Structure 1
Amino acid sequence: MTKKTKNSTLKAILDIILYEHPSTQDEIAEKLGITRRYVTKLLQPLITKGVVKRAYTLDLKKFDEFSEVFEEEKTSREHAGTLYIKEMIKNMSNHVCKQLDRSFEALSTYDDELASKALNMDYITNNMHEKVRTSVDMALSMNPSSEFSKTMAFSEVAYDLERIGDHSCQFANFTMKESYEVDPEMLVYLGEMYETAKKMVNYSMDIFLNEKLELKSKVMDYEEKIHALQKKALNCIATQMAEASFDDTERSTYYLSLSRVVKAFERIGDISIEIIDVSREFYENIPRTTTPERFRRNPKLSNLK
């Protein structure tokens, strides 16, 4: 068996210990389809060093000594014990981006079946958020030391991703409930907002997962773009509403729902900025501002009394 295969098996064993809380090595072996003897062989060095405890829990602080086994590149201020939770966040981010893709595709093609699939993806998003939250709570309870004082940032980012998933549901819900497709002129604005919002999410998660804080300026540029697009989109809706009959209630509801779609893209952008704020606090110990995002965008509002 190659070293890479052996390390992959060991990582799978540790995943089960961390997230599924097995009571015996037999249970671990059964889940992975390997022998109990092989589980014992791989775990013995970690048990001897105190990384894995007899009750089959991980001492995440001691796990730092073994992190290089998995060929993971740690960021400069990240403790190795957070790598498991970080991987969960990465998977959740990928899933939420796919949910966003499918939701917008459903909107742009007016496809009810695709919209239904996109809405079902939100259940998975919610479950992933709960797993991250539970894992963070467990990590803190097992090792309430200073090295893990920042672990709560993972819960916050998972919550932000869950909110992005919720806003993505606006696009699928529009497709399922509204009687009219989005007209071509409006779809151009929405398409640009979608592309911009997705880039903001991807860049902000790259910043958080890989400490690429230098990408912040790009995200801020995209933030300006998405707000400019929002203004154009809302003006387009206002113009179309003025030309529509007041007696057409279905059309009025359509415009109201369309405005919510535009707002959802703006909120996804705002949440991306919030993820960057968490990242700066996580890596640079820079406290987040308590000023709401909308006030930061419009300094005049902050002067109101």
Structure 2
Amino acid sequence: MSIRERFDLELNETQEQLIEMSDYAIAALNRSMDALMNHDIDTALEIIEDDAALNRMEEEINQHVILMIAKQSPVATDLRRLVVTLKVAADLERVGDYAVNIAKETIRIGKQEHLPPITLLQEMHEMASKMLHQVIEAFIAEDIIKAKEIAEIDDQVDDLYGQAIRQLMRSGAEDPERMNQVTQLAFICRYLERSADYATNIAEQLFYLVRGKRYDLNS
């Protein structure tokens, strides 16, 4: 096996690791919202415990990429791909962290009946999850057209975020005794909005990979 063939094989292995990590991170985000909606404290606790596995995945990708750079001395295009891989792995790890944060807020809310704005949080989650799925598919296919669509969905998530925060503030004013839940749901709004932002970040990394230039898809 030639040096180039060995490098391509290791590169494919790294991409498979990244796909596995993305599946795990998106599943964690979905599970955290299911736990919230179902007042499922046990699942919320599991999500917190399982986060260590996602952290290990990121560390394995980091070590793999660093060894490839050290051993193979990749040319510019290959080096760009490896750097992008590191950045995408870091973004996915952050999505996993937000899933953990949602799980923690779920535990704090406990069995309290949810305030009406919870429906907007569900919409935000559905969009963020869709964005993450689509951007990983785009990344695998190196499809920058699909990646551009991610930023357009992100604008909708931002709009929902504003609506949800305004509704939560009204709910708190009308029922001050439930301000704790207002605060916790507001945090969850932020975690979902940031998860969508990380999908856009990955789309921007894809543009950099394909075109070799940085693009701000949120502008």
Relative to the length of structure 1, the TM-score reads 0.67
- Residue 37 of structure 1 corresponds to none
Deviations for 1:152-201, whole angstroms, at most 9, x for unmatched residues? 11111000000011111122111112355352622211111110000111
**Greater Rg over alpha carbons, structure:** 1
Per the alignment, do residues 170 and 189 of structure 1 end up closer, same or farther by CA in structure 2, a change over 3 Å counting?
Answer: same
Alpha-carbon offset, residue 232 of structure 1: 1.2
- Aligned counterpart in structure 2 of residue 139 of structure 1, from 58, 64, 68: 68
**In the alignment, structure 1 residue 63 sits paired with structure 2 residue 25:** no
Alpha-carbon offset, residue 288 of structure 1: 4.2
1:108, 1:182 within 8 Å by CA — same for their partners in 2? no
- Aligned counterpart in structure 1 of residue 100 of structure 2, from 144, 169, 175: 169
SS, match of residue 204 in structure 2? helix
Amino acid in the other structure paired with 1:62: E
Deviations for 1:125-154, whole angstroms, at most 9, x for unmatched residues? 111000000100011011113153111111
Per the alignment, do residues 182 and 281 of structure 1 end up closer, same or farther by CA in structure 2, a change over 3 Å counting?
Answer: farther
Instruction: Identify, as 1 or 2, the structure richer in helix.
Output: 2
Structure 2 gaps, min length 5: none
Alpha-carbon offset, residue 81 of structure 1: 4.0
- Aligned counterpart in structure 1 of residue 157 of structure 2, from 226, 231, 241: 226
- Aligned pairs (5 A) from 1:263-282: 263-282=190-209
Identity %: 20
2:41, 2:110 within 8 Å by CA — same for their partners in 1? no
SS, match of residue 181 in structure 1? coil
Per the alignment, do residues 182 and 167 of structure 1 end up closer, same or farther by CA in structure 2, a change over 3 Å counting?
Answer: farther
Per the alignment, do residues 281 and 182 of structure 1 end up closer, same or farther by CA in structure 2, a change over 3 Å counting?
Answer: farther
Deviations for 1:239-258, whole angstroms, at most 9, x for unmatched residues? 1111123xx4xx32322121
- Residue 128 of structure 1 corresponds to 57
Structure 1 gaps, min length 5: 1-45, 52-58, 65-78, 297-305
- Residue 78 of structure 2 corresponds to 148
CA distance in 2, matches of 1:282, 1:145: 15
Per the alignment, do residues 257 and 87 of structure 1 end up closer, same or farther by CA in structure 2, a change over 3 Å counting?
Answer: same
CA distance in 2, matches of 1:255, 1:185: 10
- How many residues are aligned here? 217
Amino acid in the other structure paired with 1:130: E
Relative to the length of structure 2, the TM-score reads 0.92
Deviations for 1:12-46, whole angstroms, at most 9, x for unmatched residues? xxxxxxxxxxxxxxxxxxxxxxxxxxxxxxxxxx4
1:140, 1:148 within 8 Å by CA — same for their partners in 2? no
Alpha-carbon offset, residue 222 of structure 1: 1.2
SS, match of residue 185 in structure 1? coil
SS, match of residue 200 in structure 2? helix
- Aligned counterpart in structure 1 of residue 29 of structure 2, from 82, 100, 106: 100
